[in-house]
Structure 1
Amino acid sequence: MIQQQTILKVADNSGAKTVKCIKVLNGFNRRFAVLGDIIIVSIQKLRNKARSTSKVQKGEVHKAVIIRTKKKTIKKDGTVVFFQSNVVSLISKQGKPIASRIMGPIPKILKKKKNLKLATLSSGFI
């Protein structure tokens, strides 16, 4: 469960390292975002190696999709999925990914939530 002021890691090669959640979308007065939701983030830190070739700059505001959360999610078959950290992937205003690669696996739930482009960029599914 992600809310305002939450610091999140970035799992793609856009150049950002950490971001801060500014707003949770999809509803008036919505407080929490879960796996697969879109949020608005501000970039806090950039990766050292990618500072010169970064596609984003510190302080910019972008949209992001939540890829992994610490909160446990229960699938229909009864299995429980959770991860070590809260991770997002940056997307453009049109909803297309800024990056060309996503590090680590993503849950299969994201495939069903119309994020097919993100699914093709990832290394695997859980």
Structure 2
Amino acid sequence: MIQQQTILKVTDNSGAKTVKCIKVLNGFNRRFAVLGDTIIVSIQKLRNRARLTSKVRKGEVHKAVIIRTKNKTVRKDGATLNFQSNAVSLVSKQGKLIASRIIGPVPKVLKKKKKIKFGTLSSGFI
């Protein structure tokens, strides 16, 4: 579960390394976000190699989709799913991906939430 002030890793090639959650979208006074939800983030750190060619700048505000969380997620078939870290992928204001590649697999929850583009840019679904 992701809430305000949570530091998250960025798992795409947009140039950002870490971001901080500012606001959880989709609901009035909503406190937590789970896999597949959209949040608003502020960029905290950039990758060293990508400082000059980065598509984003430090301090900018963007939308992001949650791809991985440390919190366990239970599927309908009884399988549990959890990851080592909390991770997001940056999205533009119009809802299009900023990056051209996502590092690592993404959960099948994103397929159900009509974010199929994430699966094509990643190494596959879990």
**TM norm structure 2:** 0.99
Pair 1:52 & 2:66 matched: no
What is the total number of aligned residue pairs between the two structures? Answer: 126
Query: What corresponds to 2:81 in structure 1?
Result: 81
Query: What corresponds to 1:10 in structure 2?
Result: 10
Question: In 2, Cα distance between the equivalents of 1:109 and 1:54?
Answer: 29
Q: How large is the Cα RMSD of the aligned pairs?
A: 0.5
Question: In 1, Cα distance between the equivalents of 2:22 and 2:119?
Answer: 25
The 3-state SS of whatever aligns with 2:111 is helix
Query: What corresponds to 2:117 in structure 1?
Result: 117
Q: Is the 8 A contact 1:96 1:117 kept in 2?
A: no
Task: Return 5+ residue gaps in structure 2 as ranges.
Answer: none
Q: Percent identity?
A: 83
Pair 1:25 & 2:25 matched: yes
CA apart distance, 1:117: 1.1
CA apart distance, 1:43: 0.1
Query: What corresponds to 2:107 in structure 1?
Result: 107
Whichever residue aligns with residue 112 of structure 1, its letter is K
Question: In 2, Cα distance between the equivalents of 1:52 and 1:67?
Answer: 26
**TM norm structure 1:** 0.99
Question: In 1, Cα distance between the equivalents of 2:28 and 2:109?
Answer: 24
Question: In 2, Cα distance between the equivalents of 1:65 and 1:9?
Answer: 12
The 3-state SS of whatever aligns with 2:88 is strand
The runs of at least 4 aligned residues of structure 1 exceeding 6 Å deviation read none
Q: How does 1:65-76 map to 2 (within 5 A)?
A: 65-76=65-76
